[in-house]
Amino acid sequence: MDFTVLGAAIGAGLATIGVGIGIGLIGAKAVEGISRQPESAGKIQISMLVAAALIEGVGLFALVICILGLLG
């Protein structure tokens, strides 16, 4: 087996795990913040969505790098 394929598979897996953990932590902290201060739920939700989008972008970038490693 080629080590390039193995490295790309491990990289893609780690990127996916990292994105999942990051979004899970954001969701947990947002729910905790909303339960403590329900009147600021709108601001918390907007901040949560922006942070989740940034994490997804970094995860997608990591997956693209893994794919490019296979092609190059």
Sign of CA dihedral 7, 13, 17, 23: positive
Q: What are the backbone dihedrals phi and psi of residue 2, each rounded to the nearest 5 degrees, phi first?
A: -75, 135
CA 54 to chain centre: 8
Q: What is the mean pLDDT of residues 28-51?
A: 96
Residue 70: predicted pLDDT: 84
Residue 72 in this model has a pLDDT that exceeds 90: no
Domains and CATH numbers, the chain: 3-71 (1.20.20.10)
Percent of the chain scoring above 70 in pLDDT = 99
For the stretch 6-33, what's the b/e string if a residue is b when 16 or more beta carbons lie within 10 angstroms of its beta carbon? eebeebbeebeeebeebbeebeeebeeb
| Paired tokens of 15 | 């990127």
